[in-house]
Amino acid sequence: QGKFTLLRDTRTDGSFLVHHFLSFYLRAGCKVCFVALLQSFSHYNIVAQKLGVNLAAAKERGQLVFLEGLKSCLDLLFGEEEQPGQPSPLQFLSTSDLRALFDFVRVSLTPADRDSWKGPVLLVDDLSVLLSLGAAPVAVLDFIHYCRVSVCCQLKGNIVVLVHSNEDSEDEENELVVNSLCHHSDLILWAEGLATGFCKDVHGQIKIIKRLSLRQAAEQDVVQIYQYKIQDRNVTFFARGLSAAVL
């Protein structure tokens, strides 16, 4: 409880981690607020069904609060409101801050009297889209800071955020946000594409960084590196050099 997990991908697609955490927390009985800025609800629902989770049913019973970012952007830009009289969570498209998005998260995860969920979880896929939509890096970092205070500290919940990064990129704003989040994360799962290129038996490697130094200044971070292969319904992990292509 109270943990901030950063999902980072470089030269590959780390969305399989998002699908894992979404299905994991729903099966665990947690209340999930999913800020989906990258794909539609139907996309996530199809993948979740392969993992044994029904997102539509989770929405109906109030366990899942789903913000479909792409649709909300279009509704806001073309002047259509899903619920007239209520401000859109993506008001930052016409203003300078992400306060409306934070209020959406806070209200969604604040437990009601009749709620029996085990704990609140904020899941964001992916944070880099906010920068592409015109949000300033400082506003994005402020949004995450306030979410950490509200969800992690006050509600004793968890936050999982995906960001794209490219060490050779000229997108300084995105790299600023990524590096700042790395310094504040309790756990970093960094998916990277293979430097040698495509391989049918190894789709990439994942670096697991446990930020012990965040809690105790004298401690060293624990780093573990595995390679992985994405299959239809799961992901296989193995030590480097032990894939089917080698053995």
* 72 in Cβ contact with 89 (< 8 Å): yes
> Would 173 be classed as within a structural domain?
yes
Q: The tokens of 120 are what? A: 């609140």
> Would 241 be classed as within a structural domain?
no
Pairing of strands 64-68, 204-210: unpaired
* 123 in Cβ contact with 160 (< 8 Å): yes
> Would 18 be classed as within a structural domain?
yes
What percent of the chain stands above pLDDT 70? 92
Is the confidence at residue 187, as pLDDT, over 90? yes
CA distance linking residue 99 with residue 120, whole number of Å: 19
Domain with 181 in it: what CATH number? Answer: 3.40.50.300
* 125 in Cβ contact with 38 (< 8 Å): yes
- pTM given for the model: 0.90
> Would 238 be classed as within a structural domain?
no
> Would 64 be classed as within a structural domain?
yes
> Would 105 be classed as within a structural domain?
yes
> Would 235 be classed as within a structural domain?
no
Give how many domains the chain has, as a whole number.
1
What is the predicted pLDDT for the residue at 199? 83
Mean predicted lDDT score pLDDT of the chain:
88
Range of the structural domain that residue 190 is part of: 3-199
